[in-house]
Each structure stands twice: as C-alpha cells, then as structure tokens.
Structure 1
Amino acid sequence: MAVKILGLKVDVDTLRGYREGVPNLLGLLEELSVKASFFFSMGPDNSGKALVRVFRPGFLEKMRRTSAVSTYGWRTLLYGTLLPAPLIVESAPGILRDAARKGHDCGVHAWDHVKWQDRLPKLPVTTLEADFRRAFDLFSQRTGKAARACAAPGWQVTEESLRVQEELKLDYCSDTRGAFPFLPRWGNKVFRTPQIPSTLPTMDEVLGRGGLEGSRLAEHLLGLLREGLNVFTLHGEMEGMGQLGVFREFLTRARDQGVRCVPLSTVAQALDPETLPVCPVRMCPIEGRAGRVATQIIEEEPAA
C-alpha cells in the first residue's frame, strides 16, 4: 500500500508571524514530534505597502474571508507606510536560532517579502543579488550555518530570480505550485536546482469558502491528501496564530491516519536531479488567490 507523505513548509512573512506564530508552531511540532521546513523573511516588514494589491481582482474578497485585520493586526497593516518598517529576524534572532536548534529545516524566504512579491518583474538583477546576499548573510550570522534552500514570496519568480538562485547552488527551492518535484524551465533555459512545489491549496485560499471553517476545514484538507508526496504551505500569521487549532486538528489526524510528515529537506535528499522531469514554469491564476503564481506546467505525452 502506497504511503501518503506530507511535506510541511512554513512561510514567515511578517514580524507578528515571526514573533508570535513561529514559537506557537515550534511548540506544536515538538509536541507532535514532527519536523517542518521554515522559510524566513529576514529583513523589513513592509506589510503596509501590500495594500496596493487592493486593485487586484479577488484581493478584497480574500481579505474579508480570512479576516485579515484580526489575522495580521492593524500595526502589521501599517508597517512601511504610517509606521516604520521593523526588521523581522533582527528583532529577536533567538527565534530563528531556536527553529534551527530544534532540528527543523530552515531557509530563506526573502529579504523584503513585499518588495519581492509585488515588484519582482521590475527589480534590476543587481537588486535581486544584493537582497539575496543580505538575507543569506544574515541567516549565516544568526544560525552559524549557510541556508541551503529558499522559497519565493507569493510564488513569484522570473527567469532572473531563478538564475540568481541557481548561482547559490542550493539543495532545492520551493517557489512554485504544482504536482511533483521537477527541474524548472523558463523559456528555453533549464535550471538545475530542483523545485519542490506546493501541491495543496493554502488554508487562506479555502478558508470561509462554502462554510469551510474549524473542523470542516481540517476535514477538507485531509480529504485532499493523496498517495505519494503532498506539500502543504502554511503561514506563521495564520496556522501559527488564529488557525492554530485547525492546523493542530489537521496535523494530528493526518499523523494518526499514518501520513508521514516530513520537512522538504527530507524530500530533497531523495531526489536525483539527473532523473527529475523538466517542466515549464508559467505565471497562472489560482483559485482563492489574487494575481498569478509560478505554476508547474505538466505537458501531455505526445500521442502514439
């Protein structure tokens, strides 16, 4: 009988998610003897600048469904505009060190999450390189180890961002949505850093849709698990705070049903880049999320 594997990927986007959500998640994961992959936004919390997304179709509806104000708090929604943008990891470096010390797979999400998610296609490659350097240098300074993986904010990528990541010689990246690990192709360029895509919808993409809340939401997510690899992206601000109880129920029930819960580093260690399929990456819309995200395109086999 095939085993269900659940790769756990935690994106840490904001100061509040880092200082409140991450410790909550570390406590829960320790209680359940589960390891996860944590990707940290290392620099300033400019969340207030993200309100320009109000002009994107679906953004206001998502804000309403997910109770964004209570999830993130008013201060977070003003950082970088009416309030100064605080540094996330430097505000409490011990939280990052604690995650690494507890044996979790830790990597870089970004230097400035909002700048990456909202402006990536317009950023000069020199800015990308500088921001990567700042984020990876700070990670090394605070943990004593080099980061071996990264995950793009909002699943936003460009050919330039993939190239800069390639130069870092990482073990893997998790920048995309898709179905299985692969090597990404952008245009005619194939990159050799494996992508481990998020295969499941995030909680904020389904929360409140059709009455999906509480135990019904946990049940829905359980029903999406398939044989083989599943990758679930959660957030310090949601599953680590307001939806911590729902995530606890989901994870506990999954584990009790024999689902093997692992960090993405465990998945990466089993991959052979020489035999991984090559798949195009395109920016595509996704239900429940405003804008487009980097998506693995699975090309059909040619007819015999």
Structure 2
Amino acid sequence: MKKLAIKVDIDTLRGYREGVPHMLDLFEKHGIRASIFFSFGPDNSGKAIRRIFRKGFISKMMRTKAPSTYGLKTLMYGTLLPAPMIVPSAPDIFARASDEGHDCGVHAWDHVYVQDELANISKSEFLSLFERSAEMFERLSGKKPLSCAAPGWQISPVSLEVQEEAGLKYCSDTRGRSPFIPLFKGRSYLPLQIPTTLPTMDEILGLPGIDDDSIGDVWLKGMDNEWNVLTVHAEMEGLSKIGVFEKFIVKAKENGAVFYTLADYARDSAPGECNIKIGTITGRAGTLALQEDE
C-alpha cells in the first residue's frame, strides 16, 4: 500500500476563486480529503517580478506559461493594479473546504512578501502576519489553525519560533523524505515537519522529454517513501492542468495508492530529529529548506 497526501498551496486570488472550487469538486468526486493551505491576505503577485534575477526564474515562467496559468491581471497585482484580498473576497470557498472535512491550514498572509523577505522579517512582524491569518481562519471556520506551510519552502529561526509558540500540530515548510522534528542552526523546534517528498509539476515540466502525459508517471515512480507528499497548486492543478491532475489520481488509485492528509501523518508518525539545511533542487529557482540526509 502506498500512502499519499495531497497538499494544496493557494498563492493567488485567481487560484483561490477559480482553482479551489474545481479541486474541491475533484476531491469530492474521488473521495479524497486533502491538506489545503490558504494565503489569506493581499495578492501581491506582481511584485514577484523582483525574482527575475534569480537563476532559473525566467525559464520557470516560460515552461509554466505564466501569463495563461496565472492570468495577466494576477501578474500585475501589487504593481500596476491594487493588490486584492484573497480569502475575504469569497469567504464561502474557505468555509466549504473546512466544512467538507479537508485538513485546512495557514499558508501566509502576504505570500509574495513572506517568500521573498522572510530573512529580513522580525519576530514581531512575522507574529503579526501569522496572527492576522489565524484570526481570519478562526472567524470563518470556528476553529483555530493547527498547521501551516511556508511559502516557497522558506524558513527562518523567527518563523520556526512563532510556529512553535502557536501550538501547531505540524508544519510543512520543507522538502525531504519523512516526518521529523526539525533542528535548525543548533536548536530543535516543535511541531514536527512533514516535508513534501515529490517534485512539483512546475519542476517536472523543466525536465527533458516531459509533457502532460508523463507527469503522472514521474510522480508514481517517486512514491517510494512510507510517507509520500505531493504539493499541488490551485493555480496549476486547479485550472489549466486539472485534467492532468485527475488522470494522476485515477492512475495512483489503480496502482494501490491510499490517500491521507498531513494531519493523519502527524497523528500516526513517530519522528526523530533531523537537521534542516538551505539548498537548491532541480527545476526550482532560488534556495529552500531541505531535510538533511541522515
């Protein structure tokens, strides 16, 4: 039996308003509960243009067909157009995900800002950003958030401290192979980390000879851990690539996959400590948090 958790990251207004309803319909159709992480505040996607000088960023934008994937308006939010609020624009979508039993958590208040500037954000500022998301989460669902997932797999001692003090059950801020208690810069933190184990679609699309028909095969071949975690994005798998995503779900079931949530993994795992390092992976621009090899 192959265990697989689907982790959905929501980065933009379009992904939230258009992609998430499609994905909720898909999950209902196939009887899947997913772990879904919401960006609650402003969509400042246009400010991501600052990443243009990062190695690999332009090639990523080209292979993912960014203008059609994200929409031209999205690419102007926060620069040429005002940054719209994401969850407040249609709170019923968030409420639906929660009511349908999905494992919902916090992705960010301002996704682009946190991903790009985390190293420079003070503890008081990060706490304020997290609390704004947490307050909206509780107001709309009647529950406190018990998990979070960092934008772009970015961490800092500040973010780890705030997450620990918030009393979360788990976080998914890293890439790796199995759940673990994180050690970073000589200190251990709670809660446990449940890393993304499989490459994302935009990373796979950068590999030679890969097209829509072979993406699912790459994921299936990579499901060799006891705990497999696939991160998908509402802007891709919820919109232009939803057909590719559904074909993978069907094929995974045919190959014996059983779907779990990250909350299930957190409950059932008995993790040891492991270091986090900052590094790079194939197909992704910039650096990110990686579970260190044992």
Query: If the length of structure 2 is used for normalisation, what is the TM-score?
Result: 0.98
Q: 1:185 to 1:208 in 2, by over 3 A?
A: closer
User: 1:169 & 1:255 partners in 2: Cα distance?
Assistant: 34
Q: Is the CA contact 1:214–1:246 (under 8 Å) kept in the aligned structure 2?
A: yes
Deviates more, 1:252-261 or 1:90-99: 252-261
One-letter amino acid matched to 2:224 = R
Residue 277 of structure 1 and its aligned partner are, at CA, apart by: 1.4
Q: Is the CA contact 2:175–2:196 (under 8 Å) kept in the aligned structure 1?
A: yes
Q: Is the CA contact 1:151–1:174 (under 8 Å) kept in the aligned structure 2?
A: yes
Indicate the SS of the match to 1:23: helix
Indicate the SS of the match to 1:228: coil
2:280 is the alignment partner of 1:288: no
User: 1:46 & 1:35 partners in 2: Cα distance?
Assistant: 29
Residue 225 of structure 1 and its aligned partner are, at CA, apart by: 1.3
User: 2:279 & 2:33 partners in 1: Cα distance?
Assistant: 31
Q: Quick one: percent identity of the two aligned structures?
A: 50
In the alignment of these two chains, the number of paired residues is 294
Q: Is the CA contact 1:108–1:151 (under 8 Å) kept in the aligned structure 2?
A: yes
User: 1:61 & 1:295 partners in 2: Cα distance?
Assistant: 22
- Which residue of the partner structure matches residue 236 of structure 1? 234
User: 1:208 & 1:155 partners in 2: Cα distance?
Assistant: 19
Q: Is the CA contact 2:198–2:229 (under 8 Å) kept in the aligned structure 1?
A: yes
Indicate the SS of the match to 1:27: helix
2:174 is the alignment partner of 1:176: yes
Residue 271 of structure 1 and its aligned partner are, at CA, apart by: 2.5
Residue 227 of structure 1 and its aligned partner are, at CA, apart by: 4.8
User: 2:79 & 2:67 partners in 1: Cα distance?
Assistant: 16
Give the counterpart of 1:156 among 154, 157, 163: 154
Give the counterpart of 1:71 among 58, 69, 72: 69
Residue 179 of structure 1 and its aligned partner are, at CA, apart by: 0.6
User: 1:108 & 1:227 partners in 2: Cα distance?
Assistant: 25
User: 2:206 & 2:253 partners in 1: Cα distance?
Assistant: 25
- Which residue of the partner structure matches residue 298 of structure 1? 293
Q: Is the CA contact 1:65–1:209 (under 8 Å) kept in the aligned structure 2?
A: no
2:106 is the alignment partner of 1:102: no
One-letter amino acid matched to 2:4 = L
2:184 is the alignment partner of 1:166: no
- Which residue of the partner structure matches residue 57 of structure 2? 59
- Consecutive aligned runs of 4 or more in structure 1 exceeding 3 Å deviation: none
- Where in structure 1 are there 5+ consecutive unaligned residues? 300-304
One-letter amino acid matched to 1:158 = S
Give the counterpart of 2:220 among 222, 226, 235: 222
One-letter amino acid matched to 1:104 = H
Indicate the SS of the match to 2:224: coil
Q: Is the CA contact 1:38–1:106 (under 8 Å) kept in the aligned structure 2?
A: yes
- Which residue of the partner structure matches residue 122 of structure 1? 120
Q: Is the CA contact 2:178–2:226 (under 8 Å) kept in the aligned structure 1?
A: no
- Which residue of the partner structure matches residue 49 of structure 1? 47
- Which residue of the partner structure matches residue 260 of structure 2? 262
User: 1:23 & 1:292 partners in 2: Cα distance?
Assistant: 31
- Where in structure 2 are there 5+ consecutive unaligned residues? none
User: 2:232 & 2:147 partners in 1: Cα distance?
Assistant: 17
One-letter amino acid matched to 1:251 = I
Residue 278 of structure 1 and its aligned partner are, at CA, apart by: 0.9
